[in-house]
Amino acid sequence: MRHWRSRGAIAWLLWPASLAFGVAVAVRRFLYKIRIFSSIHPGIPVVVVGNLTAGGSGKTPLVLRIVEILKEQGWKPGIVSRGFGGSARQPRAATIAADPAEVGDEPILLARRSGCPVWVAPDRVAACRTLREQNPGCDVIIADDGLQHYALRRDVEICVVDGRGLGNGFLQPAGPLREPRSRLRSVDAVVVHGAKDVQGYAMTLEGDQLVRMTDARALRPAKSFAGQRVHAVAGIGDPKRFFLQLARFGIKPVPHPFPDHHAFRAGDFAFGDSDPVVMTEKDAVKCKRIVAGNPQAQFWVFPVSASLDPAFERWLLEKLGGSKAA
């Protein structure tokens, strides 16, 4: 109880800074709206997937599912991302061979799972331009985590809200919000991933297998680890969600939460025993070299996929003008 009171007191102390942040956010958005700040459209439909809170909320699985939906209907999607955590300042292609220190972890995962071109740059407009130059057949762009990047003009805005909801409702730094809750009224769709106090299209993350990092052909049902103690490693927005997913299979996770986009080092896995290590796909991207240096260790990945309300899929295709399949 004392802990929560302390957090509440800190939030109120930071409230004036949040108020100033909110004014800056509102002014910036207004200046884009009246075209004082210019925004550019890349010439093909743009679907922006983002959130209001700082940190991950399930955007990457949603982007992957949107790509699947569009590809099934004959579209040829491309993905652009900021490449958070990467050092690239000019447009760079994110491929399975790319260095996550340069392009970020999520873009590599997006490239591997989607099979479509992925380009990163802090300037998403430049990323779109280069993606189209290199892939002239691309006819729709999905912008990962681009809700607040107003320089990129968009056709569809989708906001994801996860089980943490909107926190204490304050803007940064007193709370987790990048924009006020009222922003939900202006987006085209809200996708709800476990949130209790927000209405929208339902999304769940599903997975039932573990993949060994040193051999992608080695698959095991997650339930085969039931009763076994594992080190559960997660550097994502909500690590608790990952730990609970493992526990549902009867696995006994020893939780090791890290900050979102954490740059892992070998020492992070010095647990002092030989129990298996299970991590998310996003974290595994950054740990290839660590695992390669310790091939005997039991490192496993738990991949998940987004399952969406079928009504969302129908809505999205209607917004984009329907199927392109012959």
Residue 325 lies in a domain: no
Q: 137 and 70: one domain?
A: yes
Same domain, 152 and 16: yes
Residues 187 and 76 in one domain: yes
- Which of 123, 101, 59, 32 shows the shortest CA–CA distance to 261? 101
Domain identity same for 125 and 111: yes
Same structural domain, 191 and 246: no
User: pLDDT over 70 for what percent of the chain?
Assistant: 95
Is residue 94 included in any domain, yes or no?
A: yes
Say what the pLDDT of residue 197 is: 85
How many domains is the chain partitioned into structurally?
2
Average pLDDT taken over every residue of the chain: 91
**114 and 49, same structural domain?**
yes
Q: Are residues 11 and 86 in the same domain?
A: yes
- pLDDT for 142: 98
Give the pLDDT confidence score for residue 290 in this predicted structure. 86
| 317 CB-near residues (< 8 Å, 6+ apart) | 69, 73, 323
End-to-end CA distance of the chain: 61
Q: Does 158 map to a domain?
A: yes
Lowest model confidence (mean pLDDT) among 3-17, 155-169, 216-230, 268-282? 3-17
In this structure, the answer to whether residues 223 and 180 fall within a common structural domain is no
Question: What average pLDDT does this structure show over 242-259?
Answer: 96
- Residues 203-216 have pLDDT tens digits of 999 999 999 998 87
Give yes or no: residues 7 and 154 share one domain. Answer: yes
Is pLDDT of 318 > 90?
Answer: yes
Q: What is the pLDDT of residue 39?
A: 94
> Residues with Cβ < 8 Å from 110, sequence gap 6 or more?
60, 63, 64, 79, 81, 94, 118, 144
Q: Does residue 326 surpass a pLDDT of 70?
A: no
The verdict on residue 34 lying in a domain is yes
CA distance linking residue 266 with residue 32, whole number of Å? 45
- Looking at the predicted structure, is the pLDDT value of residue 115 above 50? yes
> 324 in a domain, yes or no?
no
Once rounded to an integer, what is the mean pLDDT over residues 164-177?
89
Whether residue 295 is predicted with pLDDT greater than 70 in this model: the reply is: no
* 271 shares a domain with 219: yes
In a domain, 52, yes or no: yes
pLDDT at position 4: 38
Is 125 found in the same domain as 24? yes
Could you tell me the pLDDT band of residue 86, with boundaries at 50, 70 and 90? confident
Q: Residue 148 burial (CB < 10 Å; 0-12/13-18/19+)?
A: middle
Q: Specify if 326 maps to a domain.
A: no
Mean pLDDT is highest, among 51-55, 145-149, 235-239, for: 145-149
Q: Domain containing 233: what range?
A: 208-303
Between CA 303 and CA 216 the distance in angstroms is: 12
If DSSP codes are grouped into helix, strand and coil, which group holds residue 163? Answer: coil
What's the pLDDT band for 12 if we cut at 50, 70, 90?
Answer: low
Average pLDDT (127-139) is 97
Is residue 275, in this structure, part of any structural domain at all? Answer: yes
Strand bridging mode 277-280 / 209-212: unpaired
pLDDT at 13 (0 to 100):
74
* Together in a domain, 70 and 217: no
CATH number reported for the structural domain that contains residue 219 in this entry = 3.40.50
